[in-house]
Structure 1
Amino acid sequence: MHADPNPPATTRRTERTEGTPIAAPDDDPVSERSPLAYEAGVYELHAERHHPPLATQQPPSSEELTAAWEFLRAQRLTSPCYRVPRLSGASDREVSVKCEVLSPIRSFKVRGAFWAVAQAERAGIREIVTASTGNHGQGIAYAGSTLGVRTTIFVPEDVDEVKFASMAQLGAQIERAGSSLADAEQHAQAYAVQAQATYLEDGEDPQLMAGAASIGFEILQQLDQVDTILVPVGGGNLAAAVALALEQSDSRARLIAVQSTAAPGVTASLLHGHIQRIPSRTRAGGLATDRPGKLSFDVLRRRLDAICLVEEEWLWSGIRSAFDGVGLALELGAAAPFAAFERFADELGGRQVVLLASGACIDARDLAFALSGGQRGPL
């Protein structure tokens, strides 16, 4: 059946059949919708393998994916994956946590950034420009300082101060610009043209995606069996990267992306078959995008099995779940898979479940607030 773009509150599983995309008008390639139209729940998807790509660039090839993984292993930019019985609760599932928070910047973003900047350095590029709400910028800053490449990062005015300080400490030039990530991206692109620098856009750059795909390869290598993988989704780069790794490995594991009902741009886009722009109201910087990147969208349409929306308030409970279960102090967006598993374990499917802990850049006050049982709604 077709997905109802405005499902009632009781809806918990919505399907969309292959070959029936809801096309956007030719003069309206990106549509605007209200974030209030999408309820929490699990939305099943079906692969669309024969649609024209939206991105001007192709996803990384098998050779590029393998090269990135081998390079990052040589740089020891890897992470453990632990089985965590406490998170299984009374269910018969075995839950494992992929601990990307143990990277030099406490986020998975270091992988794609390091690979992309390394390729730029080899090509003789002197300056990298990007826009970020925090973790992507930290990855670019870390890679630039390590490899000797100048980095300039544009951030929204209300960027998380912990992440802002980290980017600055890593030696990047930071510029505040606009009230949203989209505003920061526009300023970054204009500056890159003026400075004759190279612009890297998270969710649109194949090198960033190739580096992040190493996470998927590692999960499959570290565990004997994987049935379901839950990843947080903002612009879609992480989910798309893991999808590519599963494709190349011929894995049949279910891949489920999780985002907040306060920032459902990816969900809306996948359900409607074209990119939808929905203003973000989430407090979670890692989820705070209004739409997926075109390259990420192209990949997710053909390989993502389902997408799960969680209420903004549940993210705070997800922080507590991760801390109590495995001792990780996750940031709000990274808690999304934990919140989804708490609420929808039966609907997500699979016995061997992996929760991807993607980032741990959280303010001490927010962590204390979450651990004390506090929760906040969207902005």
Structure 2
Amino acid sequence: MQKTRLDTARIRAARQVIDPVFLDTPLYRCEALEPVLGCAVSIKLETANPVRSFKGRGTEVVASLLAGQGGSAVVCASAGNLGQALAWSGRGRGLDVTVVASRFATAAKLERVRALGARLELVDGDHEAARERAAAIARYDGIRLVEDSLDIETCEGAATIGLELVDAAPSFDAVLIALGGGALATGVGHVVKARAPHAEVICVQPLGAPAMTHSWRRRRVVTTDSADTIADGVAGRYPIPAVLDDLLLVADDAVLVRESSIVAGMRILLDHAGLVVEPSAALGVAAVLEDRDRFAGRHVVTIVCGGNVDPDAYRRWVTATPVRESHESHGFRESHGFRECHGFRES
């Protein structure tokens, strides 16, 4: 395999600085899901920690290195999960943390960022506007900017999930990974391709936020004019070239799923696995629902990457009447309040 930016020795070293509360997360065969999905399913559960997502693995590495270098302040842009994780990791190391987010981000995530002691700045617009503002703060104040997926620490922190996965479940046929900025996919993918090359690395993204998937398919950066999906944790519009280069080396496939399938995946994980998950964490199940024949009779692992949800929105999603859509449909029912992401550009 060609070399990615990641290094296996550094990934192993990352385990030594990550708080154990984020490590060795549950991995188990969930037999209750198998009659529903038509394949053997194992869950790697990344929600049972203080920030309820996998992001703490990467921010622990970032904060440890920054504190060791004498740094005192850090800023990031976040849809909510990275901000919580950086706030938690920074608080434990005496760092002043600023999180920039869209004012339209999930309220529960933003409240938790504040509760963890970070300074929260809200901007109009989407996550890309928050990224621009965070970069401006870093330049003006002369502090460390944490850029999820671009900063190798975030990828190698996430890659520790891959180490745990291949050590505990060497016989799986495919791993389904939520695809947003790419830290989780490139991190886990790097380890799986090095240690379990027989297994497929399949990345999953919403139809309403397809930039990285289009980029992977075309092997060049493709940006989109907008993103419209309930899976806010993966709703980026501007793929990072270096991250795409890594993804091209480790991903066997990248697929897009409909909003209705994401909601169905959340409902299935609640009803059959007892798990409350955010939309991004249901992408793997959504992929199986949309292509049952592909996975029939196989053993797949899905990484349940986050559980931070707005309670009211979650109740609406999991109690709503399922909407049937054709596999050819690239749009969303008006009753859901979603639109397809129109237009994309290559760069």
Q: TM-score, normalised to structure 2's length?
A: 0.88
Distance in 1, Cα, partners of 2:301 & 2:88: 27
Cα distance in 2 for partners of 1:285, 1:292 equals 15
2:313 aligns with one of 366, 371, 374:
366
Give the whole-Å Cα distance in 2 for the aligned partners of 1:172 and 1:91: 41
Post-superposition shift, 1:357? 0.5
Match among 113, 128, 139 for residue 167 of structure 1: 113
Where does 1:322-337 land on structure 2 (aligned, <5 Å)?
Answer: 322-337=269-284
Which of the residues 353, 358, 375 maps onto 2:300?
353
Equivalents in 2 of 1:174, 1:90: separation in Å? 41
Please name the residue that 1:16 is paired with.
none
Secondary structure at 2:291 match in 1: helix
AA at the equivalent of 1:154: V
Candidates 233, 243, 247, aligned match of 2:179? 233
Instruction: Check 1:180–1:114 CA distance in 2 against 1; reply closer, same or farther (3 A cut).
Output: same
Tell me if the contact between 1:202 and 1:293 (Cα under 8 Å) persists in the aligned partners: no
Q: Indicate whether 1:187 and 2:147 are aligned.
A: no
Which is further off, 336-345 or 97-106? Answer: 336-345
AA aligned to 1:378 is F
1 CA distance for matches of 2:167 and 2:188?
13
Distance 2:96 2:292 in 1: 44
Q: Report the alpha carbon displacement of residue 64 of structure 1 after superposing the two structures with TM.
A: 0.9
Q: Secondary structure at the match of 1:101?
A: coil
Instruction: Provide the C-alpha distance between the structure 2 equivalents of 1:344 and 1:102, rounded to a whole number of angstroms.
Output: 29
How big is each residue's C-alpha offset from its partner over 1:250-293, in whole Å with a ceiling of 9 and x where there is no partner?
53211111111000001111111111111211122112111322
Which letter does structure 2 place at the counterpart of 1:299? D
Structure 1 residues 290-313: Cα deviation after superposition (integer angstroms, max 9, x where no partner): 132233211110110111111112
Match of 1:106 in 2: 52
Match of 1:89 among 30, 35, 39: 35
Aligned residue for 1:4? none
Q: Does 1:378 align with 2:324?
A: no
Contact 1:132–1:153 under 8 Å retained in 2: yes
Once the two structures are TM-superposed, the CA of residue 75 in structure 1 deviates from its matched residue by 5.6
Contact 1:316/1:374 (8 A) holds in 2: no
**1:327-378 CA-partner distances (Å, limit 9, x unpaired):** 1101112111111112213224772210110101112212221221346252
Contact 2:22 2:54 in 1 (8 A): no
Is the contact made by 2:267 and 2:318 (CA closer than 8 Å) also made in structure 1? yes
What SS class does the counterpart of residue 309 from structure 1 fall into? strand
Aligned to 2:235: 288
SS in 1 for 2:18: helix
Q: Distance in 2 between matches of 1:350 and 1:69?
A: 34
Identical counterparts, % of pairs: 29
Partner of 2:258: 311
Amino acid at match of 1:128: V
Rounded Cα–Cα distance in structure 1 between residues aligned with 2:23 and 2:96: 21
Q: Structure 1 338/169 Cα, relative in aligned 2: closer, same or farther at 3 Å?
A: same
The 3 A distance-change label for structure 1 pair 115 and 366 is: same
Match of 2:150 in 1: 204
> Equivalents in 2 of 1:91, 1:367: separation in Å?
22
Residue type of the partner of 1:221? D
Any unmatched runs of 5+ in structure 2? 323-335, 340-347
For 2:296 and 2:141, the matched residues in 1 are separated by: 49
In structure 1, list runs of 5 or more residues that go unmatched.
1-46, 51-57
Question: What SS does structure 1 have at the residue aligned with 2:171?
Answer: coil
Counterpart secondary structure, 1:102? coil
Change in 2 beyond 3 A, CA 1:273/1:87: same
Tell me, in whole angstroms, the C-alpha distance in 2 between the residues paired with 1:91 and 1:359. Answer: 21
**TM-score normalised per structure 1:** 0.81
Indicate if the aligned counterparts of 1:101 and 1:360 stay in contact, CA closer than 8 A.
yes
Q: Is the 8 A contact 1:330 1:360 kept in 2?
A: yes
Distance 1:304 1:377, change over 3 A: farther
* Matched AA of 2:101: V
Counterpart Cα distance in 2 of 1:367 and 1:177: 24
* 1:205 partner letter: D
CA contact under 8 A between 2:38 and 2:296: conserved in structure 1? no
The number of aligned residues is: 325
Are the equivalent residues in 1 in contact too, given 2:22–2:57 (CA < 8 A)? no
1: distance between equivalents of 2:222 and 2:162? Answer: 27
Match of 2:344 in 1: none
Cα root mean square deviation, aligned? 1.9
